[in-house]
Amino acid sequence: MRIISVINYKGGTGKTSTVVHLAHGLALLGQKVLVVDLDPQGSVGYYLGLSPQNTVYNLLIDNTPYTQCIVHARPNLDVICANERLYPAELAMGQFRQKEKVLAERLGTVSGYDFIILDCAPSMNLLNQNALFFAREVILPVSMEYLSLVGVKQLLNNIKIMNRIFRRDVVVTKVVPTFFDKRQAKSKHVLESLTRVFPGLVSSPIHANVALSEAPGQRQTVFEYKPNAKSAEDYIKLSREVLDHDQA
């Protein structure tokens, strides 16, 4: 089972869109996938049209068994949703012993999935530390803006620090260029910089595509809303690249 945090401290870089489409893409390719939303914005459940009874709040704070928090979203795709109740959860978790390990403890016995994919909020908070403690891999969506590169360096530093403190070996397996527009010189420059910083890790890009921004309004992924859209093609390609990633 591969456990992947999709994270970037910068907001609006396409994290949630990447989580939803990578998860659905992998599910369409026959993989069993569980998504865990760790962002109080709760966008994953909104995207997929879910109305959960229990959320990740109940899992983390009330110690509700994960089986009672999982909702079935699509064939091969299950989700543990989040909502705004997760904001105060941070405070409550701050009092726990081994507060960085709560998520790993609660989900430690999950089985039957090929992938667990975590959607992270754009900040370096306790929930994200929990995500980095539980995950073994990081996927980093980076929008084609010059300022994105600054956030990437901060995140890499934090992963190094977490690895040292907790004796972990979390690795960045993919850097995903998002909002790519080949007509813009900026897109090309940022992509070149990423390829220099992450040789061999940069995935094929996700193009800026209006269908992708419309799909959540229909509570659908782009594979359902406009399967012929460029972004549908891009995200299936990314799903294949992640699936093929050599784990050795």
Ligand X SMILES: Nc1ncnc2c1ncn2[C@@H]1O[C@H](COP(=O)(O)OP(=O)(O)OP(=O)(O)O)[C@@H](O)[C@H]1O
Cα gap 77→23, rounded to integer Å: 7
Nearer of residues 29 and 122 to ligand X, judged by Cβ = 122
Q: State the binding partner of 179 from Mg ion, ligand X, none, CB within 5 to 8 A by kind.
A: ligand X
Cα gap 178→201, rounded to integer Å: 14
Of the residues 209, 222, 232, 235, which one makes contact with ligand X according to CB under 6 A: 209
Q: According to the binding rule CB under 6 A, does residue 222 interact with ligand X?
A: no
Residue 85 in contact with residue 57, Cβ under 8 Å?
A: yes
Of the residues 5, 8, 13, 16, which one makes contact with Mg ion according to CB under 5 A: 16
Nearer of residues 105 and 214 to Mg ion, judged by Cβ = 214
Q: According to the binding rule CB under 6 A, does residue 15 interact with ligand X?
A: yes
Residue 29 in contact with residue 48, Cβ under 8 Å?
A: no
Question: Going by DSSP bridges, is the β-strand pair 115-119/33-37 parallel, antiparallel, or unpaired?
Answer: parallel
Residue 175 in contact with residue 202, Cβ under 8 Å?
A: yes
H-type helices in 14-147, by residue range?
Answer: 15-28, 43-48, 56-57, 86-94, 102-106, 126-134
Q: Which stretch binds Mg ion (CB under 5 A): 9-17, 65-73, 93-101, 230-238?
A: 9-17
Q: State the binding partner of 37 from ligand X, Mg ion, none, CB within 5 to 8 A by kind.
A: none
Give CA 236 to chain center in angstroms.
16
- Considering the complex, what minimum distance in angstroms separates the CB of residue 7 from Mg ion? 10
Q: According to the binding rule CB under 6 A, does residue 187 interact with ligand X?
A: no
Residues touching Mg ion, count (CB under 5 A): 2
Nearer of residues 16 and 58 to ligand X, judged by Cβ = 16
Q: Can you name the residues that pair with 3 across neighbouring β-strands?
A: 116
Rounded to the nearest 10 degrees, the angle between the axes of helix 185-197 and helix 148-165 is 20
Q: According to the binding rule CB under 6 A, does residue 12 interact with ligand X?
A: yes
Nearer of residues 130 and 209 to ligand X, judged by Cβ = 209
User: Which residues of this chain interact with Mg ion, rule CB under 5 A?
Assistant: 15-16
Binding-site ranges for ligand X (CB under 6 A):
11-17, 39, 41, 43, 122, 178-179, 206, 208-209, 212-213, 216, 231
